[in-house]
Amino acid sequence: SLKQEDVLFGGKFQALYVIGDSLVDSGNNNYLPTKVKSNFAPYGSDFEGGKPTGRFSNGKTIADYIAIYYGLPLAPAYMGLSEEQKNNISTGINYASASCGVFPATGKQLGECLSMDVQVNYFKETIDKNLKKSFKTKQELSKHLAKSLFMIAIGINDYVFLYNKTIDPNEFADKLLHEYMTQIQVHSTEDFDFCVQRLQRLGARKFFINNLKPLGCYPNTLARNVPSGSCNEGANLLISIFNTKLRKALAHFKEKLAYTSFLYSDYFKFMLGLRGPSSNQASSNLMDSTSPCCPSVYDGGQYTSCTPDSIACKVPDSHIFFDPFHPTQMANFMYAIGCFQERRVCKVV
């Protein structure tokens, strides 16, 4: 796997295509009728030009840092591109949509969002309508797709919106995983319109897979847990069941497909690590790990969020979370270091 390490960490990728949720949305929800938006201050206060873009952070997301690491432009939000721009972009596009998930019903209570299969459909459209104009031959296009990186960071909202205590955790994880893998997977059938044209079938060969975050350690959960500031271990256990299954499935998948490779990112462990030595105590490190930067006075309400009238903290870099659900640019930057420089967070499957 050393050769794969070289390819995936040293990758001369031609493009970065992003499938995901609010962790990596670069502005798609700006164009959708939904309550879940971040296209207003104080979001984006540390982004280039200090302007809100629809990223759920004060600055760059982990998808942005991945693009930067590979020397690619930040992948623009698909929904914000004109037809002409779509025809001219061959360095990657971001399809991620806040509040959405793997199951089509996820997040729809709050308005419209692009679920995983819709994002993959848009990617298919990008190939059929736009990339075919940039690459004259089928071979060139295939080569482009094989030399692109596909980042996937989705699935936590399925737990947030659809999981409840009456559901068996293993069954839920299996269902979610099945749906997730079908989006990546090859179908043995030759019928090209079977369900959704999947990513692997469409030509994707190199994947960057982000596992699910420790929901039990996010401010909106911490505030309600006893003792206050300690993680909800039950919620974390639930998520780790899925993460373990995901990692196994990728390893199994890898054995079947000679030309497909995965960089697996243990985002769960990374976020726990930012809290300091024990996930159970209030943090002992330099960053505030329990309260968000925005709103700066946080009541721990389930739906309290960062709104256009919210006052944000003065120094976002001193916080792990920018709002109750999303990390700061500093946390995202530390993630990139842990992934690419230390290679602790990201491993080749």
Active-site positions read 22, 323, 326
- Residue tagged 């992003």 (tokens): 18
Contact criterion met (CB below 8 Å) for 65 and 332? yes
CA–CA dist 85, 76 (Å, integer) = 10
Contact criterion met (CB below 8 Å) for 96 and 26? yes
CA–CA dist 122, 236 (Å, integer) = 32
Provide the angle, in degrees to the nearest 10, between the axes of the packed helices 267-274 and 329-336.
120
- Residue tagged 């409840």 (tokens): 164
Which candidate, 237, 258, 181, 263, places its Cα nearest to that of 6? 263
Secondary structure (3-state) at 66: helix
Provide the angle, in degrees to the nearest 10, between the axes of the packed helices 62-69 and 329-336.
40
The secondary structure of residue 161, as a DSSP letter, is H
The tokens describing 118, both together, are 């819709």
**Per DSSP, what are the bridge partners of residue 346?**
265
